[in-house]
């Protein structure tokens, strides 16, 4: 793929930051729709925040603005299924299981991490609390559109409530002094006990049959777990060791909740068992592992092993574990280990969208989906390629030719402090 020349870049600089009611056609790029084969010299037609058409012979309306992106690559906006940008926090030290805690109530939308994510081509993020609890609370699915509050950037359910999952963890992180568990067996027993209590809570509601006199007293923790048991709220489960992975699968089979396995350093050792459980996996691929004893057997082989077993495989940053600006390296490392190119690219986009139940809106470049896409200087798996622009719902949210955006992409003194980013003026507390 040839490098974009100065003329093309000047066109990009002049591109409106908003694709409005009139259509805009991005022409000449290699397009990777993910849902179909790559398209050389393709056309992406966008209107009113949605994708109108994508292909090699798309008719460009006469009233459309035309953007020449020849020599570049366009792919769907990246989906990060596990991130800690925005300073999310859930449960505290009072107990190991706190499903009632919501990271919704802790997100700082002016955190510079959001800009770093956009600089990495990320357009959708699952924000969650840490892994020091067996259950640290409710995650939130966020679209990186411009917004002044967490509600304005959150994905919403059909009833208007904020969409998200439930963060769980096992292994060494949650093993601490009481009231936290001291062993793996005690950890599993506490989780089992909590789900049994939730089953009983749901049963009491069903027996009440709408009679307020028979309804149980409202319990926020049980309400959240009832959503997990019904499948409405997906469990996003931190787990590393092969035996810990199997414990998650054991609990999932017993209580029937939907789960995504996160990290899974030793997934290569139990790939067939994961596949048999029909559970998706969100991998982290880091080439400098350390700091956690249970991750000592992390192996890039997990990526191709899971693919061979038929598991739906995605990737995540766990930002700051991997900086959001380097998310595409995950797929490249997977391919280096033997994963197919198509599965690796899917792991950055559609697989993550499926794990968040958002694949009807994002993850591929298809007619009717949100106009979330990334313009790259070259192949997404090449270390020499750079994110040129990131668009969210037809709005340009990152442009490498904007000096402030370039500072976020490339670092430099103060670049990652919110007060140095133009959108975050007035927020003075640095990181």
Name the nearest CA neighbour of 26 among 65, 52, 62, 59.
Answer: 65
Alpha helices per DSSP H over 231-281: 242-255, 271-277
Quote the Cα angle for 418-421-427, to 5°.
Answer: 40
Cα(274)–Cα(334) distance, integer angstroms: 18
Where along the chain do its domains lie? 6-75+366-400, 78-355
Nearest by Cα to 355 from 118, 33, 80: 80
- Return the pLDDT at 287: 77
| Domain covering 6-75+366-400 assigned CATH 3.40.30.10 in the classification | no
- Pull the structure tokens for residue 66: 């035309």
Backbone φ/ψ region at 282: left (φ over 0), alpha (ψ -120 to 50), beta: beta
Q: For residue 295, what pLDDT band results from cuts at 50, 70 and 90?
A: confident
Segment 218-242 shows an average pLDDT of: 97
pLDDT over 90 for what percent of the chain? 86
**Predicted model pTM:** 0.91
Q: Which two tokens stand for residue 258?
A: 């939907």
Q: 418: pLDDT confidence band, cut at 50, 70 and 90?
A: low
Taking 60 as the threshold, does the pLDDT of residue 15 lie above it? no
Average pLDDT over residues 2-27: 59
- How would you label 119-153 residue by residue, b for 16+ Cβ within 10 Å and e otherwise? bbbbbbbbbbbbbbbbbbbbbbbbbbbeeeebeeb
CA distance 343 to 73: 18
pLDDT the model gives residue 7:
35
Mutual orientation of helices 242-255 and 184-208 as an angle, nearest 10°?
20
Q: Which residue has the higher pLDDT, 313 or 427?
A: 313
Q: 389 Cβ partners below 8 Å, 6+ apart?
A: 12, 15, 374, 375, 396, 398, 399, 400
Give the long-range contacts of residues 336-343, CB within 8 A, separation 24 or more. Answer: 336/300, 337/300, 337/301, 337/303, 337/304, 338/301, 338/303, 338/304, 339/303, 339/304, 339/307, 339/313, 340/307, 341/381, 343/307, 343/313
pLDDT band at 357 (very low <50, low <70, confident <90, very high): very high
Fold of 78-355: TIM Barrel (3.20.20)
Q: How far apart are CA 100 and CA 308, in angstroms?
A: 38
What pLDDT, on a 0 to 100 scale, did the predictor assign at position 8? 47
Which stretch of 24-33, 61-70, 285-294 has the lowest confidence by average pLDDT? 285-294
* Residues 296-345 pLDDT 10s: 888 999 999 999 999 999 999 999 899 999 999 999 999 999 999 999 99
Residue 348 has a pLDDT of: 98
Q: What one-character DSSP code corresponds to residue 332? A: H
First-to-last C-alpha distance (Å) of the chain: 38
Please report, for residues 65, 404, 406, the alpha-carbon distance to residue 10 in angstroms, rounded to integers and kept in the order given.
15, 17, 15
Average pLDDT over residues 241-268: 97
Q: What is the pLDDT of residues 64-104, one digit of tens each?
A: 999 999 999 999 999 999 999 999 999 999 999 999 999 99
> What is the pLDDT, as a whole number, of residue 2?
39
Which of 25, 89, 94 shows the shortest CA–CA distance to 55? 25
Number of H helices, E strands in the chain: 12, 17
Query: Cα dist. 426→88, 106, 402, 417, 422 in Å?
Result: 21, 19, 20, 12, 10
Burial label, 202 (beta-carbon count in 10 A; 0-12, 13-18, 19+): middle
> The tokens of 238 are what?
């931190």
Sort 60 into a burial class: Cβ within 10 Å, 0-12 / 13-18 / 19+. Answer: middle
């Amino acid at each position: 793929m040839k490098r974009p020349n100065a003329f093309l870049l000047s066109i990009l600089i002049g591109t409106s930051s908003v694709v409005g009611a009139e259509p805009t056609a991005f022409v000449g790029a290699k397009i990777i729709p993910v849902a179909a084969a790559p398209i050389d010299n393709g056309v992406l037609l966008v209107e009113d925040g949605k994708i109108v058409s994508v292909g090699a012979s798309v008719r460009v309306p006469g009233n459309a603005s035309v953007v020449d992106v020849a020599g570049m690559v366009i792919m769907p906006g990246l989906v990060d299924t596990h991130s800690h940008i925005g300073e999310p926090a859930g449960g505290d030290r009072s107990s190991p299981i706190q499903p009632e805690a919501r990271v919704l109530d802790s997100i700082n939308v002016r955190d510079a991490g959001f800009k770093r994510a956009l600089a990495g081509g990320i357009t959708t993020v699952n924000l969650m609390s840490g892994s020091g609890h067996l259950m640290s609370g409710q995650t939130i699915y966020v679209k990186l559109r411009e917004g002044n509050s967490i509600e304005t950037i959150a994905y919403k359910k059909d009833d208007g409530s904020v969409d998200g999952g439930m963060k769980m963890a096992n292994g060494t992180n949650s093993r601490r002094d009481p009231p936290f568990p001291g062993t793996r067996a005690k950890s599993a027993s506490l989780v089992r006990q909590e789900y049994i209590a939730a089953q009983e809570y749901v049963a009491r509601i069903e027996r009440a049959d709408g009679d307020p006199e028979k309804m149980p007293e409202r319990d926020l923790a049980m309400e959240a777990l009832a959503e997990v048991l019904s499948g409405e709220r997906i469990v996003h489960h931190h787990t590393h060791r092969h035996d810990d992975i199997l414990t998650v699968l054991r609990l999932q089979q017993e209580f029937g909740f939907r789960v995504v396995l996160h990290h899974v350093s030793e997934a290569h050792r139990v790939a067939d068992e994961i596949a048999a459980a029909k559970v998706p996996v969100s991998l982290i691929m880091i080439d400098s592992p350390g700091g956690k004893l249970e991750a000592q057997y992390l192996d890039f082989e997990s990526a191709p092993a899971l693919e061979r077993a038929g598991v739906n495989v995605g990737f995540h940053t766990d930002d700051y574990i991997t900086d959001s600006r380097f998310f595409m390296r995950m797929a490249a490392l997977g391919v280096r280990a033997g994963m197919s190119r198509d599965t690796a690219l899917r792991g950055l986009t559609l697989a993550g969208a499926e794990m968040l139940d958002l694949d009807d809106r994002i993850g591929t470049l298809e007619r009717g989906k949100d106009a979330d896409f990334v313009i790259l200087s070259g192949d997404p798996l090449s270390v020499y390629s750079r994110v040129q622009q990131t668009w969210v719902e037809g709005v340009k949210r990152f442009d490498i030719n904007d000096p402030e955006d370039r500072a976020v992409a490339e670092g430099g003194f103060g670049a990652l402090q919110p007060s140095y980013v133009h959108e975050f003026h007035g927020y003075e507390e640095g990181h």
